[in-house]
Amino acid sequence: MNDTHGKTPGARQASRRQFLIDMAKTACTVGLMGTGLALYTKQSRALPPLAIRPPGALLEADFQGACIRCGLCVRDCPYHILELAKPEHNVATGTPYFVARELPCEMCEDIPCVKACPTGALDHQLTDITKSKMGLAVLVDHETCLNFLGMRCDVCYRVCPLIDKAITLEAVHNQRTSKHAMFLPTVHSDACTGCGKCEKACVLEEAAIKVYPIKLAKGELGGHYRLGWEEKKKAGKSLIDDQNIITMPTRRPEDNP
Amino acid sequence: MSARAIGAEAVAEKGWFASHKWLILRRSSQLAILALFLAGPLAGLWIVKGNLAYSLTLNTLPLADPYVLLQSLLAGHMPEKLALIGVAIVLAFYFLVGGRVYCSWVCPVNLVTDAAAWLRGRLGIKGGAHISRKLRYWVLAMTMVLAAVTGTIAWELINPVSMLHRGLIFGIGMTWTIVLAVFLLDLFVSANAWCGHVCPVGAFYSLLGKWSPLRVSAAKREACNDCMDCFAVCPEPQVIRPALKGAKQNVGPAILSPNCTNCGRCIDVCSKDVFRFGLRSAK
Other residues' Cβ atoms within 10 Å of the Cβ of residue A1 = 6
- AA identity, residue A178: S
User: Under 8 Å CB-to-CB from B156, ≥6 apart: which residues?
Assistant: A68, A69, A93, A94, B53, B68, B71, B162
Q: Taking all residues of chain B, what is their mean pLDDT, rounded to a whole number?
A: 91
Distance CA B223, CA B200 (A): 36
With an 8 Å Cβ cutoff, the interface of chain A facing chain B consists of 22, 26-27, 29-31, 33-34, 37-38, 40-42, 44-45, 61-62, 64-72, 74-76, 83-84, 86-89, 92-94, 117-121, 124
Instruction: Give residue A250's pLDDT.
Output: 80
Beta carbons of A134 and A195 less than 8 angstroms apart: yes
Spell out a b/e string for A19-49, using b for 16 or more CB atoms within 10 Å of the CB, else e. eeeeeeebeebbeebbeebbebbeebeebee
Which residues in chain B have their CB less than 8 angstroms from residue A26's CB?
132, 134-135, 138
pLDDT over 80 at B282, yes or no: no
Q: What is the mean pLDDT of residues B88-115?
A: 94
Nearest-CA distance B123 → chain A (Å)? 29
Instruction: Give residue B1's pLDDT.
Output: 39
Nearest-CA distance B169 → chain A (Å)? 10
Beta carbons of A114 and A77 less than 8 angstroms apart: no
3-state helix, strand, coil in chain B (%, to 5): 55, 5, 35
Option in B141, B142, B157 nearest A41 (CB): B157
Instruction: Give residue A256's pLDDT.
Output: 60
Distance CA B113, CA B184 (A): 9
Which residues in chain A have their CB less than 8 angstroms from residue B60's CB?
none
Nearest-CA distance B276 → chain A (Å)? 35
Q: Which range has the worst mean pLDDT, A119-123, B9-13, B52-56?
A: B9-13
Beta carbons of B142 and A30 less than 8 angstroms apart: yes
Check CB contact of B129 with chain A, cutoff 8 Å.
Answer: no
Instruction: Give residue A4's pLDDT.
Output: 45
pLDDT grade, residue B4 (50/70/90)? low
pLDDT over 80 at A70, yes or no: yes
**Cα distances (Å, whole numbers) of residue A223 to A127, A220, A227, B231:** 31, 9, 11, 71
Q: Kindly report each contact of residues B130-135 with a partner whose C-beta sits within 8 Å and lies 24 or more positions away, as own/partner.
A: B130/B190, B131/B189, B131/B190, B131/B193, B131/B197, B131/B198, B132/A22, B132/A26, B132/B197, B133/B196, B133/B197, B133/B236, B133/B238, B133/B259, B134/A26, B135/A26, B135/A29, B135/A30, B135/B197, B135/B198
User: Under 8 Å CB-to-CB from A234, ≥6 apart: which residues?
Assistant: none
pLDDT over 60 at A177, yes or no: yes
Bridge partners (DSSP) of residue B48 are: B57
Under an 8 A CB cutoff, do A119 and B72 touch? yes
pLDDT grade, residue B247 (50/70/90)? confident
Which residues in chain A have their CB less than 8 angstroms from residue B85's CB?
none
Check CB contact of B190 with chain A, cutoff 8 Å.
Answer: no
3-state secondary structure of A122: strand
B49: enclosing H helix or E strand: strand B48-51
pLDDT over 70 at A3, yes or no: no
The tens digit of pLDDT for each residue in B146-178 reads 999 999 999 999 999 999 999 999 999 999 999
pLDDT over 90 at A113, yes or no: yes
The tens digit of pLDDT for each residue in B80-97 reads 888 999 999 999 999 999
∠ CA B14-B251-B132, rounded to 5°: 85
Distance CA A211, CA A192 (A): 10
Option in B54, B138, B153 nearest A118 (CB): B54
Under an 8 A CB cutoff, do B151 and A117 touch? no
Instruction: Give residue A243's pLDDT.
Output: 77
Instruction: Give residue A86's pLDDT.
Output: 92
pLDDT grade, residue A2 (50/70/90)? very low
Distance CA B198, CA B194 (A): 5
DSSP-derived letter for residue B279 is E
The tens digit of pLDDT for each residue in A30-49 reads 999 999 999 998 888 888 88
Indicate the pairing of strand A83-84 with strand A209-212.
unpaired
- AA identity, residue B221: R
Instruction: Give residue B113's pLDDT.
Output: 95
**ipTM (interface predicted TM):** 0.88
Q: Which range has the worst mean pLDDT, A189-198, B123-132, B146-155, B197-206?
A: B123-132
The tens digit of pLDDT for each residue in B62-79 reads 999 999 999 999 999 898
Ranges of H-type helices in A45-154: 60-66, 72-76, 112-116
3-state secondary structure of B250: coil
Q: What's the distance, Cα to Cα, between the start and end of chain A in Å?
A: 118
Which residues in chain A have their CB less than 8 angstroms from residue B89's CB?
none
Instruction: Give residue B146's pLDDT.
Output: 94
pLDDT over 70 at A242, yes or no: yes
Cα torsion A176, A180, A182, A183 to 10°: value is -170
Among B246, B259, B245, B253, CA closest to B277: B253
Under an 8 A CB cutoff, do B79 and A86 touch? no
Q: What is the mean pLDDT of residues A132-161?
A: 95
pLDDT grade, residue A1 (50/70/90)? very low
pLDDT grade, residue A123 (50/70/90)? very high
Ranges of H-type helices in A144-207: 155-159, 197-201
Under an 8 A CB cutoff, do B54 and A42 touch? no
